[in-house]
Structure formats: structure tokens, C-alpha cells
Structure 1
Amino acid sequence: MPVPTRRQPTLRRLVPLATAGALLALPVLTGCTDNAPAANDGPSADPRALTVSASDTACTISGVGAPSGKLTFSVTNSGSKINEFYLLASDGLRIVGEIENIGPGITRDLVLTAPAGDYFTACKPGMVGDGIRAPFAVAESGQGAEASGNDGELVAVANTNYASYVRDQTDQLLSKTEEFVAAYKAGDDAKAKALYPVARVHWERIEPVAESFGDLDPMTDAREADLESGQKWTGWHRIEKDLWPTRAKGYKALSTSARATYADDLLKNTQTLYDRTRTITFTTDQIANGARGLLDEVATTKVTGEEEYWSRTDLYDFQANVDGARVAYEGLRPILQQRDAALDTQLDTRFTTLQGLLDQQKSGDGFKLYDDVSKSDVKALSDAVNALAEPLSKLTAAVS
């Protein structure tokens, strides 16, 4: 059975996630129109509210800059391909915020808080290639990067707690990866198979954080269908195929020395992720955008069964993404309850509904293989994810 075609991994998710970031520099996409402000757009009543027209060949923004503070990029896909929009830091590496899976004719908002500084905007038509970038300047305005007033302390607590959560998850990821690597190198496939989904849970819970380090993500978590021409395949899914080669017709198992090479590389990259998250900090918009990003991950790779193509352990990842999104949301709940109690109630209800459906797929201490999930249950899970994604997309604007 052929591996399903997937989107390229370049410029994947950009924001940290929840309670339960830097990308590769991207050259301008060859042949695409420069990203420039729309010539006919007049000044906006709110200089922090910008419009983006993302076509198949251009990324047209209503301004080349904005005052610091809470920014809203209203991105309309005016082309025929699915598109994505990013705000990158001045080094062109770190993803500050992103919105992906914008279908033709669809408008979606990216809401984030940006301090004064130099940035880049980027559109990615077709969700492949390097993207269309242009400089974007944020000027000092005196507006704080976080909420002030009665909920200022709540904001500080949410940001601090989420950073602690990320450090805890990377602690556990490193420990479990060490165990997994040792078993795999020793040829203890039964133990390695048992550890594989358990270790990956800790990656999946903080996936937007991990993916924001763009140099690590392709090396650690790329699927075979994600690979670009000439890219070497390494990481979790390369080892996954070696442990579960049943669907790979004519597959030749890796040698002992090759196993050691791939295993050591995975552990080295996991250690790097651990090191980079020791002093990482977050803002409320990053946490909220990360929660939304996790639900996007569920919708695009977990519900479809594409994430764990070889092992069929997708439901472990599904649960971990939901865990991470819920942790992010719950960390922000004290702020949300003050600002939008109705949205808080809606989110709580829909998280509970989705978790109930996931609980029905449990088997012992883990989950069923994805091949054993009925089509009707897959549809129910997909519907629940979509029902949650809609109000979750409003969280950033509510708490930022």
C-alpha cells in the first residue's frame, strides 16, 4: 500500500501550547510575486488590524508595519490552493504566530501580541515550498505586551505555569526516549514497540513548541510522505517503519549499526529540544494559538490516520494533542472566565464531549490500533474535533 501524499514539513506550527519556539530560515519562493502592501488599500481605522490577501502567487498585506501590542491579521485566501500565513522573528527563524489550512475563499484571523521590533510576514500557497516573505516593522507604542488591570496577575501565572508544563513534558520526553533508544539499539523490538507511543505522547503534547524549532522538527518528526527532494529521513518515523515494516512491501530491515546511528541521532535531537526549553517563556497569545494549533494537528494528521502510518498508534497522539490543548485552555481559564464566560462554558463542554469519545477507544492502559476504529467512530471523532476547533479559534482574541 503506498504511503499517502502529505504536506511538506517546512514552516509547520509556530506557537507554544498548553497545561495537560525556531524555524529554518526560508528563502523567498522562486517565481512568486513579492509580498507587498496593497497599493489601493487606505489607512485602517485601527493600525493594528491588518488584512492579508493570500493568492497562489502573492501575499499582499494592507501595511508594512503596525504599532506594538495586540495585532490582528485577517487572512483571506484569494487563490485556488490551501494557504498558510506566518509572522516570523527578525532572524527569519523563530515563528511568532501562524494560521494554516486556509482554504480557497476562506478568511481566518491570526491574533497575537507583538513587541516593537523587526519581523517578516510569510504566506505559503499550497502549504509546500519555502513561502513568500516580506519585512514587517512593529513600532513602539507604549501598549504593554500583556493585559493590565485586574487580570494582570492571572496572565503572569498562566505564562509561568505553561513554561513549567513545557519543561516537565520535555523532561519526560528525554527520559522515555533514552529508554526507547536503548531497547531499539539492543534489538529488543517488543520493548521498543511498547515504549514508542508512550514516549511520543510527551512530544505530541507540546508539538507546537517543538515544531517552532524548525531545524529540529524535520529531523525528529518528519513522515516519509513529508520529505522534500534530497532530504535525509531521520527521527521517530524512520525508526517506526523499521519496527513495523508490514505495510512496506519488500522492506529491508536496518542493520545493527544503522539502528544505532538513527537512535543516537534521535536522542541527540531530543536532548537539544530539552536544552532549548529550559529558559523558554510564553505569552497568552502564544499559549492560546498553540491550543488551536494542536486541534489543527488532530484534524489534519490524527483523525486521518496519517501520523503513525506504520505502527497505527495514532490514538495515542490524538489524545496527547487534546491533552496539550486542554492544558493550555485550562491555564487561561481564569482570564477567559472574566472576559468571556460564555466562550469558557462552550469550550469546557466541547472538550468534555471529545474526551468522552476518545475514552471509548481505550484498550487497557492504552488505545486501540487505528485500523480497529470503525468508520462511524472516526466520523464522530472528526465531528467533535471540528466542533471544538470553532470556539477554540476565538480563545486568542479573548485572552490577549
Structure 2
Amino acid sequence: MTPHRTLGALSIAAVAALALAGCVAKADLAAAEGIAVTSTADACEVSTAEITSGTVAFDVQNEGDQITEFYVLASDGLRIVGEVENIAPGTSRTLSMVAQPGEYITLCKPGMIGEGVGRAAFTVSGEAVAVDETDSERKDEAVALYAAFVKDQVSRLVPAVEEFAAAYASGDDETAREQFPQVRAYYERIEPVAEALGDLDPRIDYREVDAVAEGLDWTGFHRIEKDLWVPAEDALNSDGETPAWQDWSPSTDEERALYADLLVADIAELYAYVHSDDFLDALASQGVAGLSNGAIALLDEVATGKITGEEDWWSGTDLWDFAANVEGSKMAFSLVRDIAADSGDAGAALVDDIDGGYAALEEALAAHGSLETGFVSFPTLTDAEKRELSDLINVLAEPLSQLTATILE
């Protein structure tokens, strides 16, 4: 089972920490503090765990037998503040950045998939450092960090899906049921990226009612979900009308193997896309508007599917998806937060409203569990609890809808 971050870890302090990465002048590079990093198959050795704020250069040497990456993460373990990738065996690359005071995490990712190795705390003490960036540079950096976040989430999704699919195909339903909502969290954080790829999201994540309505073969997470949580004889599909057993029966061993293989292949296609120039070009063409619109889209996902209980109809694990959507939305917002706040008094007030909206929504959601410890089943929520969450989504959605126009002013 792969580790996950709690929703409550996404504090405003962690948002501010995203200023760690910045444009580094050549003069500053010459005086940068050098830190040696050695990456191997199972370790990521960083020569020091604490520095004083200022320009720093992580010199990463790959002594393993796979291409590797090096990451500096915010303290929540989710937000990327600096990374260098494609370090071939026997070679080295340097990550140069302006290190602001705060608590961070370092790790390496041999093979460029999974959770990484050598995860360790990294502390930056001292005073905040002024970073001289143009507006264009600041926005380009936000887009680059979001690209790194998406690639990281998908690289974690790949082995998690492989493990989940293997458990399902082998008939180990208990393990597969436990993994189902946790694996989906990686996908739910970056769902708008997959939704932009034609029929890829339908193959991965369509509900039965949607696939039937569009005349598509029903595959992906929710096809597997129905096998794992066999519906009662009197159960209805998520359309509220069709008997769950109509035109459907539990998958045979051969069908399970097929659905498992298809899901693994579709996630591999997603991985290939987010590591391609096409993905980077698409993000660049959208600019920071793509980030703010992504934050809005993920909140819409919560409002139209998760809060109704229709997404994970058979398992009742909608709150896991809910939490991951909110994490992904807040992550995208955080990258343009300071741009909006610095746009004037109105922008600063808007950011305060959005910060408050996320905090209130997180607090209410935390009353029902967390991604780390698990959530209660969605059907066990009372109507009043569902209304509270729905109302808080609407409160947050209103200022968030103004974000794109604010950062483009």
C-alpha cells in the first residue's frame, strides 16, 4: 500500500513555501552553496540536511543503473518546489534554486516512477531572500512547477495501478478494495489533464451510466469497482432507475484479466503523454490561465459528482475522490496565488477569500476522515452533512471563479 498525504497538510504556510524555486542570476550561481546528492537504486544521499537561505546548487550524481530524478518538495510531500530529471546512469545534473526559509523534503526517483527513495527532511533557516523576477518569468515558473506536479502524480499512479490491477485480476478482492480509493487519489488530483485527451478519460474513469449513454465499451476503474463491490439484487445503477443486474454479470477470470490489462495500458498512455513535448506545449499555450482554470475544473468535479455520491456508486468511496480533487485544485491555485495577491487590493482580498474557502472546506471534510487514515462511506453521511459540504463548495467556487481574470489583468 502506498503512502498518502492528508488533506489537512495543505496549509497556507506550505503555499508560501512554493516561493523556494526562483530565477537564479549567473552571478548568484557562482556564489551558490553546493550540496552533493548521490542517487542509487535504493538511496538518495544529500550531503547536508540544513542550510541557510540563499542560492543553492544541488549537484546530483546518478550512481544507479536507471535514469533518475531529484526532487525538493514542500513539507506536505505533495508540492514540488524544485526538480531535475533525466539524469542518466553515470552522469550528473545540477538543480539551482533560491532556498527560502522553511521545512522541505528531498528524494530521488530511480526509474522515474513510484514514490521515490531516500525521502528525508531538509531545513532552510535564516531570512527570506528577495527574488528578482519579471512577471513573465514568474508565470513561466508556475507553469513549469505544475507540469512537474502532474508528471510526479502520474509516475506514482503507474506502479500503484499495476499493483491494484494485479490484485483484482488474481481475485484478491480484499486487497484490491483497500487499494481502490487510494490509487484513484493520484488520478483525481490531475483529472482535467486526462479529460483533455479525447477518449482516454472515458476509458479510465467513466461511470456505467455514462458509458451506456454514449454507446462505449465500459472499462476502467468503475468497471472494476462493480466487480469488487458486487451490488445487492435490488440495487439500482447510478441513474437511479436501471436495475444493477440488468445486462450485467460479474466478470469471469478472463474478463478480469482483460480489464486489468486495459487499465494498466491506459495509465501507461497517460504517463507517456505527460512526459511528452505535446503536454508541455499544451500547458505553455494555456499559461497560468490553465492553472487557475484547472483549479476551478477540479472543484466542479467535486460539485457535480463526488458530493452527489454518484462517482463511486458501488464502493461509497466518494470522499477519497473528493479530498484528492480538492488537493489538486488547491495545488493549482497555490502556484498562481501570489500572482493574484500582488495584482492589487482586489486581488489580495480575493486570495484571502479563496484561502478561507479552502480552509473551511478542509476542516469540514476532515471531520469524516482523511486520505491517510481513510474516510467514512459516503452513504453514511447525513443529509445535513452533505449539505454542509455542498454549501462550502459553493462558497469557495464563487471567488475561485474570479481567479483567472485576476491573474491575467
TM range (shorter): 0.5 to 0.7
Q: For 2:231, what is the secondary structure of its paired residue?
A: helix
CA deviation string 1:161-197 (max 9, x = no partner): 0000000010111111011011011110000001110
Q: For 1:246, what is the secondary structure of its paired residue?
A: coil
Q: CA deviation at 1:214?
A: 1.6
Q: What does residue 352 of structure 1 align with?
A: 359
Once residues 266 and 380 of structure 2 are traced to their aligned partners in structure 1, the CA distance between those partners, rounded to angstroms, is: 33
> Is 2:261 the partner of 1:255?
no
What does 1:53-132 align with in structure 2 at a 5 Å threshold?
Answer: none
Residues 208 and 293, structure 1, Cα contact 8 Å, conserved in 2: yes
Once residues 135 and 293 of structure 2 are traced to their aligned partners in structure 1, the CA distance between those partners, rounded to angstroms, is: 19
> Is 2:172 the partner of 1:188?
yes
Partner residue of 1:154 out of 138, 154, 157: 138
Once residues 153 and 209 of structure 1 are traced to their aligned partners in structure 2, the CA distance between those partners, rounded to angstroms, is: 23
Q: What does residue 398 of structure 1 align with?
A: 406
Q: What does residue 350 of structure 2 align with?
A: 343
Letter in 2 for 1:196: F
Structure 1 unmatched runs, 5+: 1-18, 21-148
Q: What does residue 192 of structure 2 align with?
A: 208
Once residues 246 and 275 of structure 1 are traced to their aligned partners in structure 2, the CA distance between those partners, rounded to angstroms, is: 35
Q: What does residue 312 of structure 2 align with?
A: 308
Partner residue of 1:387 out of 386, 395, 405: 395
Q: What does residue 150 of structure 2 align with?
A: 166
Letter in 1 for 2:384: S
Number of residue equivalences = 254
Q: CA deviation at 1:294?
A: 0.7
Q: CA deviation at 1:153?
A: 2.1
Once residues 359 and 331 of structure 1 are traced to their aligned partners in structure 2, the CA distance between those partners, rounded to angstroms, is: 24
RMSD: 1.7
> Is 2:228 the partner of 1:243?
yes
Would the alpha carbon gap of residues 192 and 392 (structure 1) be closer, same or farther in structure 2, given more than 3 Å must change?
A: same
Letter in 2 for 1:373: L
Once residues 324 and 231 of structure 1 are traced to their aligned partners in structure 2, the CA distance between those partners, rounded to angstroms, is: 28
Q: What does residue 204 of structure 2 align with?
A: 220
Higher helix share: 2
Residues 290 and 325, structure 1, Cα contact 8 Å, conserved in 2: yes
Once residues 253 and 189 of structure 2 are traced to their aligned partners in structure 1, the CA distance between those partners, rounded to angstroms, is: 31
Q: For 1:306, what is the secondary structure of its paired residue?
A: coil
Structure 2 unmatched runs, 5+: 1-16, 19-132, 236-243
Q: For 2:342, what is the secondary structure of its paired residue?
A: helix
CA deviation string 1:261-311 (max 9, x = no partner): 011001100000010001322210111101100111110001000100011
Q: CA deviation at 1:215?
A: 1.8
CA deviation string 1:23-77 (max 9, x = no partner): xxxxxxxxxxxxxxxxxxxxxxxxxxxxxxxxxxxxxxxxxxxxxxxxxxxxxxx
Q: What does residue 298 of structure 2 align with?
A: 294
Residues 301 and 307, structure 1, Cα contact 8 Å, conserved in 2: yes
Q: CA deviation at 1:373?
A: 1.1
Once residues 185 and 321 of structure 2 are traced to their aligned partners in structure 1, the CA distance between those partners, rounded to angstroms, is: 6
Residues 219 and 233, structure 1, Cα contact 8 Å, conserved in 2: yes
Once residues 229 and 275 of structure 1 are traced to their aligned partners in structure 2, the CA distance between those partners, rounded to angstroms, is: 26
Q: CA deviation at 1:218?
A: 1.1
Once residues 400 and 146 of structure 2 are traced to their aligned partners in structure 1, the CA distance between those partners, rounded to angstroms, is: 17
Residues 154 and 334, structure 1, Cα contact 8 Å, conserved in 2: no
Letter in 1 for 2:227: D
Once residues 338 and 399 of structure 2 are traced to their aligned partners in structure 1, the CA distance between those partners, rounded to angstroms, is: 17
Once residues 356 and 296 of structure 2 are traced to their aligned partners in structure 1, the CA distance between those partners, rounded to angstroms, is: 16
Q: In percent, how many aligned pairs have the same letter?
A: 43
Once residues 406 and 134 of structure 2 are traced to their aligned partners in structure 1, the CA distance between those partners, rounded to angstroms, is: 15
Partner residue of 1:369 out of 369, 377, 381: 377
Residues 223 and 307, structure 1, Cα contact 8 Å, conserved in 2: yes
Q: For 1:336, what is the secondary structure of its paired residue?
A: helix
Once residues 234 and 158 of structure 1 are traced to their aligned partners in structure 2, the CA distance between those partners, rounded to angstroms, is: 35
CA deviation string 1:91-118 (max 9, x = no partner): xxxxxxxxxxxxxxxxxxxxxxxxxxxx
Q: CA deviation at 1:229?
A: 4.9
Large movers: runs of 4+ above 6 Å:
none
**Scaled by the length of structure 2, what TM-score is found?**
0.60
**Scaled by the length of structure 1, what TM-score is found?**
0.61
What does 1:2-21 align with in structure 2 at a 5 Å threshold?
Answer: none
Once residues 152 and 336 of structure 1 are traced to their aligned partners in structure 2, the CA distance between those partners, rounded to angstroms, is: 14
Letter in 2 for 1:299: A
CA deviation string 1:319-349 (max 9, x = no partner): 0110000001111112111111111111001
Would the alpha carbon gap of residues 351 and 229 (structure 1) be closer, same or farther in structure 2, given more than 3 Å must change?
A: closer
Q: CA deviation at 1:217?
A: 1.0
Q: What does residue 326 of structure 1 align with?
A: 330
